[in-house]
Structure 1
């Protein structure tokens, strides 16, 4: 059962933990829902859009070390975006 929010010693509102959940876990769960949702959405759509930046590199050919590093950096960024955006809209 959940109890209503109460004031703690410093006069700020503290949500009480629910069913064996500590206050820290409760706050983390609330923050994870509000902060992680847009981050996951951004990761998902970044992972969708980044491959289009590979097309010009692959079409013109990767000749120099700078182009190789750009390609590898884009590939690494795409992998990070896939990892972050994977949970987006999974129910």
Structure 2
């Protein structure tokens, strides 16, 4: 028959669990930093550059449905780029 666990055993188990959690967080942060940062950078600079593509469309006028759809698609893409790139270099 085994004796009930003592406080030291529980403390050791809790310390091991905390250490594993800390290691998981560290690995996640490394992964997030190496993958998310470039995506945010691309989103940011896309949000900066995309409005220049609107200029020729607006200068010639939105005469046909194809030009209107192109303009609205660029606008939606620009909004998406703004959402993705907004947190770039915020600290």
Superimposed CA distance per residue, residues 28-52 of structure 1 (whole angstroms, 9 cap, x where no aligned partner): 3221111011110000000000000
Which structure 2 segments of 5+ residues have no match?
1-18
Alignment of 1:1-91 (within 5 A): 16-18=20-22, 23=24, 25-91=25-91
In 2, distance between residues paired with 1:28 and 1:72? 37
CA positional deviation for 1:79: 0.3
In 2, distance between residues paired with 1:50 and 1:67? 16
What do you get for the CA RMSD once the two structures are aligned? 1.8
Which structure's residues are more often strand, by fraction? 1
Answer with 1 or 2: which has the greater Rg.
Answer: 2
TM-score by length of 2: 0.73
TM-score by length of 1: 0.73
Aligned residues: 73
Which structure 1 segments of 5+ residues have no match?
1-14
Which structure's residues are more often helix, by fraction? 2
